A and B are shown apart, each in its own frame.
Chain A
Amino acid sequence: MTADTALLIDFGSTYTKLRAIDLDAGKILGAGQGPSTVTSDVTIGLDAALGDLEDAIGHLPKFKYRLASSSAAGGLAMITVGLVKELTAEAARLAALGAGAKLIDAHAYKLTDKDAAGIVAKNPDILLLAGGTDGGNEETIRWNAEKLAQAKLACPVVIAGNRNAADDIAKDLQALGVDARIAENVMPEFNVLDVEPARAAIRDVFIERIVHAKGIDRAQSRFDAVLMPTPTAVMEGARLLASGTSKIKGLGPLVVIDVGGATTDVHSIAEGKPAQGGVLQYGLPEPFAKRTVEGDLGMRHNARTIVETIGADIFSARSGLDASEIETLLQTIEADIERLPNSVTETSFDTTLASFAVARAMKRHAGRVEIKQSVTGPVTVQYGKDLTDVETIIGTGGVLAHGENPEKILAAALFDHDEAESLRPKRPKLMVDQAYALYAVGLLADAAPEAALRFAHNNIHTNIIEKKGTGHGRTPTA
């Protein structure tokens, strides 16, 4: 009997990437790659990649699952609109990011005609419209829907605001030919966050509409389903790894840091309740599965900004490179944004860049405490998630998977006594996902969760020092 196998496809913006996985053994059979041909005919790139995979593994087995994700054509571009910036507007932002979106704009309060025209001009794939608790403010969400309708917004709209207004808004938008759907309110009551229904609605729109709009369904006979935007796969993988199944124990609360060329993403799967007693939680509660995307911390797109932020002298001291070497490397990267390091100098440069990106991204993602003075003495107030007790950090992305110093880079995410207010993990196990297994785990999470976990445990490692071959597990482009 032959083993069950799965074919995983990522329709990226540069490459079409394939991986064949042996589900019984939990290992990679092989990988293949073709160009991204989403803008012309998606089947060309996919066929090229299948040919490449066939060359790598001999012949193609009959796959039990053929699942795909897509980050092609700019990913899932979204704009969110809410009422108060720190409340429903923030809840909408969290929901969109959690759905794997690339957030291209976020609005709060009443939209002006100019705002609405700007939103339409940015041409998002989906707009998420929130505002008002259930039974709360209706005026603003109605106003904003009308402004968007007047501006002739044509993209699908997910309405996740005050339920008293949602039906009317949906009907009005539908009458104009807009695909408007209602999800439960992202903030049904004051300071109660409920982002999962909105996330699910976004994913439905993605599967039903966006995949078609981007022409990916032309290759439909070659796969079973495009399940999600690529970043969502990483988050779903992290979720399964944290929670486990009835048969395989999960790892518990964890953090995933994905250092990419354009962004550094952080996912935390954790409650984030105060680890110490007597701490008062303040502000909007954050989702159990939280994703943040740092668009100014990309290893390639933002290299110069990162160097400037650290300061040339400090960067020089940390990397051991002198100013002219740094400048040369910056120019090399700017001329070749896909560049992979191939010298000691470049590796050391990348390690310094990545350590900073990891530290900064983790600090922004994690919560913080503040001591407030009250008449009864000092009070500790917590904003955001307390991640100090998280036991696992998994690093992924090219520089961690293939670089020389994944541990050194990941260690930059840890709790720092000089910044004790930042609630970053104190003593986690540091793991590296060299094979970009989390992505595969996420795609397989629904269909074959146990096989996905076996695969994760075989491919995500602790204390990796030695470099492995790069024949498998190329990083899908986010």
Chain B
Amino acid sequence: MTALTKQQRASITLVTGVIGADTHIVGNRILSMALEKEGFNIVTLGALTPAEDFIKAAIETAADAILVSSLYGQGELDCRGFRDMCIEAGLDDIVLYVGGNLVVGKQAWEEVETRFTDMGFDRAFPPGTRTPDVVEKLDTDFQSKVSGTA
């Protein structure tokens, strides 16, 4: 895989935010700023964002991906049905990422990851993920979109 150029990344719109009754904004803000610096077009929704607001923002901005953060252990509940809501809103092909402290207590990451990919997320990221890892995955996932339009 080759990394995308900043110019290529500018055609990719990402919606970011912290889902549910979660006020932990810092990690999400760092991620958003880093992705913006890497050239992506970012729409930030901030903390305390209901699931439907991610979807409304994605519709209006014709977003390519939604990056959901959850830090307070309730992510599994908040994210339930997220993919279905996207399909319902006509966003069938939108790329969905989720990351943070997704569950309470010590649970094997592989199990957690499967739980979220089963829910329809394309990728799930464990606690401690570095921003370059997210950039790399985005570059991989949008390789075809960019080569199709470049």
Interface residues of A (CB under 8 A from B): 83-84, 86-88, 132-133, 135-139, 187, 189-191, 280, 282, 372-376, 379, 381
Residue in A closest to B23 when the chains form the complex, CB atoms: A374
Q: How far is the CB of A379 from chain B (nearest CB, A)?
A: 6
> Is the pair A136, B60 in contact by a Cβ cutoff of 8 Å?
yes
> Is the pair B13, A83 in contact by a Cβ cutoff of 8 Å?
no
Residues of B within 8 A of A88 (CB): 60
The A interface, classified by DSSP as helix, strand, loop or mixed, is: loop
Residues of B within 8 A of A84 (CB): 56, 59-60
**22 contacting pairs across A/B (C-beta < 8 A):** A83-B59, A83-B60, A84-B60, A86-B56, A87-B60, A132-B61, A133-B60, A135-B13, A136-B61, A137-B61, A137-B62, A187-B60, A190-B43, A190-B61, A280-B47, A280-B48, A372-B21, A373-B21, A375-B23, A375-B73, A375-B74, A379-B23
Decide yes or no whether B34 CB sits under 8 A from chain A: no
Residues of A within 8 A of B72 (CB): 374-375
- Known contacts A132-B62, A375-B21: does B48 contact A87 (CB below 8 Å)? no
Decide yes or no whether B122 CB sits under 8 A from chain A: no
- Known contacts A86-B56, A190-B43, A374-B21: does B48 contact A136 (CB below 8 Å)? no
Residues of A within 8 A of B62 (CB): 132, 135-139
Decide yes or no whether B57 CB sits under 8 A from chain A: yes
> Is the pair B57, A190 in contact by a Cβ cutoff of 8 Å?
yes
> Is the pair A135, B48 in contact by a Cβ cutoff of 8 Å?
no
Residue in B closest to A281 when the chains form the complex, CB atoms: B46
- Known contacts A372-B21, A375-B72, A379-B23: does B48 contact A132 (CB below 8 Å)? no
> Is the pair B48, A374 in contact by a Cβ cutoff of 8 Å?
yes
B5-23 vs A, CB cutoff 8 Å, 1 = contact: the mask equals 0000000010000000111
Interchain CA distance A37-B61 in the complex, whole Å? 48
> Is the pair A374, B61 in contact by a Cβ cutoff of 8 Å?
no
| Contacts of B24-79 to chain A: CB distance below 8 A | 24, 41, 43, 47-48, 56-57, 59-63, 72-74
Q: How far is the CB of A438 from chain B (nearest CB, A)?
A: 36
Interchain CA distance A14-B29 in the complex, whole Å? 57
Residues of A within 8 A of B24 (CB): 376
Interchain CA distance A132-B23 in the complex, whole Å? 28
**Interface size counted on chain B using CB atoms at 8 A:** 19
Interchain CA distance A187-B57 in the complex, whole Å? 12
Residue in A closest to B49 when the chains form the complex, CB atoms: A282
Name the 4 nearest CB pairs between A and B, nearest first.
A136-B61, A137-B62, A190-B43, A375-B72
Residues of B within 8 A of A132 (CB): 60-62
> Is the pair A381, B61 in contact by a Cβ cutoff of 8 Å?
no
Q: How far is the CB of B30 from chain A (nearest CB, A)?
A: 18
Interchain CA distance A137-B60 in the complex, whole Å? 6
Interchain CA distance A376-B74 in the complex, whole Å? 13
Residues of A within 8 A of B43 (CB): 189-190
Interchain CA distance A191-B43 in the complex, whole Å? 9
| Contacts of B87-124 to chain A: CB distance below 8 A | none
Residues of B within 8 A of A190 (CB): 43, 57, 60-61
Interchain CA distance A247-B26 in the complex, whole Å? 47
Interchain CA distance A51-B114 in the complex, whole Å? 84
Q: How far is the CB of B63 from chain A (nearest CB, A)?
A: 8
Of listed A88, A374, A376, residue having the most chain B CB within 10 A: A374
Q: How far is the CB of B130 from chain A (nearest CB, A)?
A: 25
Q: How far is the CB of B56 from chain A (nearest CB, A)?
A: 5
> Is the pair A282, B48 in contact by a Cβ cutoff of 8 Å?
yes
Interchain CA distance A25-B74 in the complex, whole Å? 68
Residues of B within 8 A of A137 (CB): 59-62
Q: How far is the CB of B77 from chain A (nearest CB, A)?
A: 13
Residues of A within 8 A of B13 (CB): 135-136
Beyond the given pairs A191-B57, A373-B21, 10 more chain A to chain B contacts, judged by CB atoms under 8 angstroms and listed by A's residue number, are A86-B56, A87-B60, A135-B61, A139-B62, A190-B60, A190-B61, A280-B48, A374-B22, A375-B72, A379-B48
Residue in B closest to A138 when the chains form the complex, CB atoms: B62
> Is the pair A87, B41 in contact by a Cβ cutoff of 8 Å?
no
Interchain CA distance A88-B74 in the complex, whole Å? 31
Interchain CA distance A381-B23 in the complex, whole Å? 11
Interchain CA distance A107-B81 in the complex, whole Å? 27
Q: How far is the CB of B100 from chain A (nearest CB, A)?
A: 13
> Is the pair B60, A135 in contact by a Cβ cutoff of 8 Å?
no
Residues of B within 8 A of A381 (CB): 48
> Is the pair A372, B48 in contact by a Cβ cutoff of 8 Å?
yes
Interchain CA distance A132-B63 in the complex, whole Å? 11
Q: How far is the CB of B1 from chain A (nearest CB, A)?
A: 26
Interchain CA distance A379-B46 in the complex, whole Å? 14
Q: How far is the CB of A14 from chain B (nearest CB, A)?
A: 42
Residue in A closest to B74 when the chains form the complex, CB atoms: A375
Interchain CA distance A282-B43 in the complex, whole Å? 15
Task: Identify which of B22, B41, B59 contacts A135 (C-beta below 8 A).
Answer: B41
Of listed B47, B62, B73, residue having the most chain A CB within 10 A: B62
Residues of B within 8 A of A187 (CB): 60
Residues of A within 8 A of B60 (CB): 83-84, 87-88, 132-133, 136-137, 187, 190
Task: Identify which of B23, B41, B59 contacts A376 (C-beta below 8 A).
Answer: B23
Interchain CA distance A280-B48 in the complex, whole Å? 10
Interchain CA distance A87-B47 in the complex, whole Å? 18
Residues of B within 8 A of A373 (CB): 21
Residue in A closest to B72 when the chains form the complex, CB atoms: A375
Residue in A closest to B71 when the chains form the complex, CB atoms: A375
Interchain CA distance A136-B57 in the complex, whole Å? 10
Interchain CA distance A88-B57 in the complex, whole Å? 10
Q: How far is the CB of B78 from chain A (nearest CB, A)?
A: 12
Interchain CA distance A138-B24 in the complex, whole Å? 33
